[in-house]
Structure 1
């Protein structure tokens, strides 16, 4: 493509209580090395910190920055409001916790043109500013941490099940009905499922890299992963037979841990003894194998620079897995219903 033929690009960012991160996200969008027309539309939820003031100040400083209101709070609703307000044929989704590499847009548009795909995405490069956040980032970047999805470490370009964030052809988003606003988490996977069902291609390009800043505290991490797991359980209910096997590993871990605890109590109290007790002890194998795996990745294969790094990683991994698994079981049994990611609603 020549400079004159470059399509215009609309960046969309849903934000809620993101005073720590939103300015960095906006600046990396404005600094994109892309010669085509550009605009940035932020969907402002009802923040209780300085997010709105930061966005409005930056909109006053740069006419390419604008915003719409998102009273519904949820990410899919905010994305839809921003997309509906957009003008250009390419939509680039950006997260307030993310920062784009300077050549991200140029490469993504070239990949769309080269492959004929309607959505392309690349690698999530999680980073941390504190020891805890750095431990969470290591888990995000590990195949053990989030299950080995392409955008957590893939290296081979090609068609994909889903995409991290995504760079879309705007007309196809409207063709498939935009984001499903009844899906509060897992909205990317659900949208890409509909895109593929409509006969289009979703593409993974590892040359595209986005920096992502994870949650900064144990409480926020747990709440985020419980909510994410619950909505994954909801999506399994809605789309049976279309979910990768890796989504079922954390809930199986939760079940095996609960079974081990119950059996241990029964054995200690003498309710279960003899041969039945010996045979039932097979349930301990799952948690034991998981514990050994945790030790291996935390202290050997993915060890950090200090003893504190090792132990934080050792604790962060099961926090993510068990919180996600507990949420998944709840979502699978009763549906996600009104579950929200409350880690976004406080500061």
Structure 2
């Protein structure tokens, strides 16, 4: 992992960690296994875990001088990232999450792309994976345009300038210049950071050759909590940006609003609140969006996209609907009322 300082710029991996006992060893191993011709370190922002993660991380740090620990009692991801970056020693920062694994050659390729393009932030593709039927269904949804709207870091695409960078291989000085991560944002911090980099005139770049394995939530409840929190913060960020955001962000809240309209319309028809002669037309108009969405879900049950077995496809359809409605409802709340400090506890609560 190490190498002569004269050959390549030093790299500091920064990783926020809290209650990740099932994934932390694989995440650390994927970092330490990187073949990079330059000095490296791994700075872990360690929260007060309750599942044995803290003890395991300290064991790893005691056994390898490349691993350093900074305490993160707040447990907030952007605060932990900032603490790790400030404690880092090298000019290139590589963000890693505790539930991800870097692919072979990730660092060398990413740093070369950073230098070749003149970018300040380079990201690759999230490749979601799963260990159980449910987690594999979530992974399929992450890797599908139907699940997360076709963002380039989920589906890939051609190399070039990008809106944001997943995780990110970044230049430390420029991060410090813009004030690092916004510590008041608990979700969507990557997008917001890269927006400020772009606003400052810097290049954000997608290199689809960079691959990161991501292990998603493994229960319905955790998934719903995650996507609700993510939707809330996306609504908050859209609110701050004055609505100037990609159209894909508005699809889930439009679905939630249309479904609510359908339910209210059906209730009004049942109660006789609509004129009888407008009933059939009103019913068609009111239910059309929801009916079309239900037809889409039904088509996924028979489509191979959702998996090879009926159980896989049913899980996939349930996951897609959970993502859309939880994210959409959260977005509406965040856009109308702000995030108000909402925190995603989906990985830390049972």
Q: Normalised by the shorter chain, which TM-score bucket? A: over 0.9
Within-5 A mapping of 1:18-97: 18-97=20-99
CA contact (8 A) 1:17 1:346 kept: no
Partner of 2:328: 325
Comparing 280-289 and 246-255, the one that deviates more: 280-289
Unaligned runs of 5+ residues in structure 2 are none
Q: Does 1:239 align with 2:244?
A: no
Q: Does 1:313 align with 2:312?
A: no
SS at 1:254's partner residue? helix
CA contact (8 A) 1:222 1:319 kept: yes
| Distance in 1 separating the partners of 2:207 and 2:313 | 31
Residue of 251, 254, 257 corresponding to 1:255: 257
Within-5 A mapping of 1:184-203: 184-203=186-205
| Cα-to-partner distance string for 1:136-175 (whole Å, 9 max, x where unaligned) | 0000000010001001112200000001100001111001
Q: CA deviation at 1:267?
A: 1.4
Q: CA deviation at 1:100?
A: 0.3
Q: CA deviation at 1:273?
A: 4.1
| Distance in 1 separating the partners of 2:238 and 2:185 | 12
Q: Does 1:172 align with 2:174?
A: yes
| Distance in 2 separating the partners of 1:301 and 1:155 | 22
Partner of 1:159: 161
Within-5 A mapping of 1:124-139: 124-139=126-141
CA contact (8 A) 1:225 1:324 kept: yes
Q: CA deviation at 1:290?
A: 1.3
Partner of 1:113: 115
| Distance in 1 separating the partners of 2:94 and 2:167 | 8
| Distance in 2 separating the partners of 1:288 and 1:3 | 62
| Distance in 2 separating the partners of 1:30 and 1:266 | 62
| Distance in 2 separating the partners of 1:16 and 1:245 | 33
Residue of 333, 337, 340 corresponding to 1:337: 340
Q: CA deviation at 1:278?
A: 3.0
CA contact (8 A) 1:25 1:100 kept: yes
CA contact (8 A) 1:17 1:50 kept: yes
Q: CA deviation at 1:270?
A: 2.2
| Distance in 1 separating the partners of 2:286 and 2:116 | 51
| Cα-to-partner distance string for 1:177-196 (whole Å, 9 max, x where unaligned) | 10000111000000000000
| Distance in 2 separating the partners of 1:139 and 1:243 | 22
| Distance in 2 separating the partners of 1:5 and 1:295 | 56
| Cα-to-partner distance string for 1:48-81 (whole Å, 9 max, x where unaligned) | 1111011001001110011111122111001000
- Runs (4 or more) in structure 1 with deviation over 3 Å come to none
SS at 1:60's partner residue? helix
Q: CA deviation at 1:293?
A: 1.8
CA contact (8 A) 1:230 1:339 kept: yes
| Cα-to-partner distance string for 1:86-138 (whole Å, 9 max, x where unaligned) | 00010000011100012000000010011110110011000000000000000
SS at 1:134's partner residue? helix
